[in-house]
Structures are given as structure tokens and as C-alpha cells.
Amino acid sequence: MVSNPIIVAMDVAEVDEARRLSAELAPVVGAIKIGKELFVTSGPAIVRELRAAGANIFLDLKFHDIPNTVAKAVAAAVRLDVQMLTIHTSGGVDMMRAAEEAAQKEASHLGLPAPLLLGVTVLTSMDEANLRELGIERGLTDQVEHLADLAVKAGLRGLVCSPLEVPMLRKRLPKDFALVTPGIRPAGPGGDDQKRTMTPKEAIAAGSTWLVIGRPIYAAANPKAAAQAILASLA
């Protein structure tokens, strides 16, 4: 297990709130996830600022474009000194390979460790009817497995997936492959829009490498205490 597998999703629009939460949480979590809303609101400046404050950064922009464009965006993210970032596996093997190569090349050029480039398989908001709509005839699980295999073929070293997909993916992926799972609820199911959840301890036991946790930490009365309690529950 990585020493602190908690990634806190910083799903807040206000830059001041992101600053305040990061200062409080950076010392007690493994990384901070910056998603589309905060990035579109506050741009690369907030990434640099939170990184400078000592946080490991997971830049979750889920790139999906032609290989050349994605490779350049990944290289630009490496220059922001992020430690993890996401691309869509449905962009195809050439796109994923170009992205991984760009991450390695730019990091080596800057003398930085290469970030962990994570592939997103099927979004958890999609069901089989949505896949069918896109002309994909495979079942959901088969499609997740298929995209995971393509990610391995392209040289990626990690995936984002539902904690419920972890056991089946662990059976087919290389041993050191990183699996990053949202849909984590420390208090068990219920309360908001995540339907298929696991507790932090269950997700780690199932084989998750990293846990993405948003509202149970940032919306808690005491975010730092909430993160510390989750870490303690894993011991």
C-alpha cells in the first residue's frame, strides 16, 4: 500500500477555498485532485500555487483528442510539475502511447520523475444503454476489460475505475499497475449521488492503490480530522 493513498478531490470553484483547504489538507493526504471546474476557474496558476505549498497534484482533466494534441497537453502538465493526470483510454492506443511517451520525455528533460498517467475506461455515469447508443455492443464489464487491455498495450501504468471493478481488473493487469478509485464513502452507502460505493478499507482490501475522496473530506465540519480518521481506518 502507498503510505498515504488518500487523494482529496478539490471540487470547489472558489480559489480562496481551494487555498484554505489545501493548506489544511496537504500535510495529511497523499495528493490533491484538481478537476475541470477549479482549473477552468483558476487555471495553471492554482496548480503551481498548490504544488508550491507542498501538495502532490493530480490534474484530472481527462484529455481526449488526437495523439499530437494530447501529447502536447500532457507535456504542458508535466511542466506544471503534476504527479498524476488523466486521459481517456477511448482515445485509442496511439493516443495513449503518445501521451505516455510525452510524459516520460518531458519529465526526463526537466529532471523530474515522470507523472503517473492514468487511463479512464468507461465513465461510471454510463450504463450499457449508453454504450449501445454509441454503437458499442460489448457489455459494460467487457468494455472496461477491453479498454484496460488497450491501456496496458499502450504502456500506461494506471487506470481510474470503480472500486467494484478492481477485483476483476486486478486479475488481468500487471502486478504493479495503479488503480485509482472514486466512489468511496467512509460512512457506508447513502447521502449523495454516488450509488455504487465502498468504504476506504474495503476499497484498499479489494486492491485499490489510491482512493479519490471528495465531499466526505472537503464538506466535513473538520476536513483535516475527516482525512486523518480515514487514514487511521486503513491502519
Q: Give the helix/strand (H/E) hosting 226.
A: helix 223-234
Asked if residue 158 binds ligand C5P (CB under 6 A), the reply is: no
Q: How far is the CB of 216 from ligand C5P (least distance, A)?
A: 6
By CB under 6 A, tell whether 26 contacts ligand C5P.
Answer: no
CB atoms within 10 A of CB 233: 12
Sorted by sequence, the CB contacts under 8 Å of residue 201 that are 6+ apart come out as: 233, 234
Asked if residue 29 binds ligand C5P (CB under 6 A), the reply is no
> Which residues inside 33-52 make contact with ligand C5P, applying CB under 6 A?
35
- The secondary structure of 86-106 as a DSSP string is EEEGGG-HHHHHHHHHHHHHH
From CA 67, how far away is CA 205, in angstroms rounded? Answer: 36
Catalytic one of 33, 36, 62, 224? 62
- Amino acid type, 206: A
Which of helix, strand or coil describes residue 82? coil
Q: Please name which of 198, 186, 166 lies closest in space to residue 232, comparing C-alpha atoms.
A: 186
Exactly one of 30, 158, 163, 182 binds ligand C5P (CB under 6 A); which one?
182
Q: Which stretch binds ligand C5P (CB under 6 A): 16-24, 137-145, 165-173, 208-216?
A: 208-216
Residue 212 interacts with ligand C5P (CB under 6 A): yes or no: yes
For 125, other C-beta atoms within 10 Å of its C-beta total 7
CA-to-CA distance for 44 and 229, rounded, in angstroms?
31
Report d(CA 217, CA 230) in Å as an integer: 9
Q: Does residue 13 belong to the site contacting ligand C5P (CB under 6 A)?
A: no
Residue 223 as a binder of ligand C5P (CB under 6 A): the answer is no
Q: Does 144 bind ligand C5P (CB under 6 A)?
A: no
Out of 5, 6, 9, 38, name the contact with ligand C5P by CB under 6 A. 9
Least Å distance, CB 194 to ligand C5P, is 5
Binding mask 51-90 for ligand C5P (x = CB under 6 A): ----------------------------------------
The answer to whether 5 contacts ligand C5P (rule: CB under 6 A) is: no
62 among known catalytic residues:
yes
Residue 208: helix, strand or coil by DSSP? coil
Question: Please, what is the end-to-end C-alpha distance for the chain in angstroms?
Answer: 10
Residue ranges that bind ligand C5P, judged by CB under 6 A = 9, 11, 35, 123-124, 160, 182-183, 194, 212-216
Query: Known catalytic residues?
Result: 62
